């Protein structure tokens, strides 16, 4: 009697699908829990999206267009425009016309935005530090390659 290889392949496919579903479920749950925890400690009035944009602008150290920011954060231009409007009202960013192309605008972090970002970093640091201590640097480092590869495949 011949072994049924199609059943074996089907079981492997099911295992692969189940592990992928489990992984994605864990990632989505972790993302939601982390967002919730960080939102609780951010300075009053600052949303996670605000912090993310300020942190990005501080890290790149140069102006970006709203379209570039939307692409970096995988959000619509409308969503980014809304976030940028709130940051500009708070005085955390400067938006100016692009002198080379009047159709575009350029966004830069302001000194007040840097201070707000630094304040937010100080607020989230204890949460991140606690997680790092509880899980361990080695375990966290070992997860990064898989998560990066998954992100690159999805991009």
Mean per-residue pLDDT for 21-45? 94
Residues 6+ apart with CB under 8 A from 5: none
d(CA 70, CA 38): 22
Q: How does residue 17 score in pLDDT terms, banded at 50, 70 and 90?
A: confident
* Long-range contacts from 34-41, C-beta under 8 angstroms, 24+ separation: 37/127, 38/124, 38/127, 41/123, 41/124, 41/126, 41/127
What confidence tier does 60 reach under pLDDT thresholds 50, 70, 90?
Answer: very high
97-135 tens-digit pLDDT? 999 988 899 999 999 999 999 999 999 999 999 999 999
Four-residue CA torsion sign, 112, 114, 119, 124: positive
Instruction: Output the pTM of the full model.
Output: 0.80
Confidence (pLDDT) at 79: 97
Query: Encoding tokens for residue 104?
Result: 């575009």
pLDDT at 8: 58
* Burial class of residue 127 (count of CB atoms within 10 Å of its CB; 0-12, 13-18, 19+): middle
Confidence of residue 9 (pLDDT cuts 50, 70, 90): low
Q: Band of the pLDDT at 15, cuts 50, 70, 90?
A: confident
Residue-range domains of the chain with CATH: 42-154 (1.10.10.10)
pLDDT band, very low/low/confident/very high, at 96 (cuts 50, 70, 90): very high
């Amino acid at each position: 009697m011949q072994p049924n290889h199609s059943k074996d392949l089907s079981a492997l496919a099911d295992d692969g699908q189940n592990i992928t579903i489990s992984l994605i479920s864990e990632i989505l749950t972790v993302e939601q829990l982390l967002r919730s925890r960080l939102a609780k400690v951010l300075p009053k009035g600052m949303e996670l999206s605000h912090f993310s944009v300020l942190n990005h602008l501080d890290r790149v150290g140069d102006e970006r267009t709203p379209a570039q920011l939307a692409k970096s954060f995988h959000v619509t231009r409308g969503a980014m425009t809304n976030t940028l409007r709130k940051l500009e009202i708070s005085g955390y960013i400067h938006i100016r016309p692009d002198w080379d192309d009047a159709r575009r605008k350029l966004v830069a972090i302001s000194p007040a935005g840097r201070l707000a970002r630094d304040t937010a970093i100080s607020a989230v640091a204890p949460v991140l530090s606690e997680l790092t201590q509880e899980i361990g640097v080695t375990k966290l480092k070992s997860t990064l390659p898989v998560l990066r590869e998954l992100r690159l495949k999805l991009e």
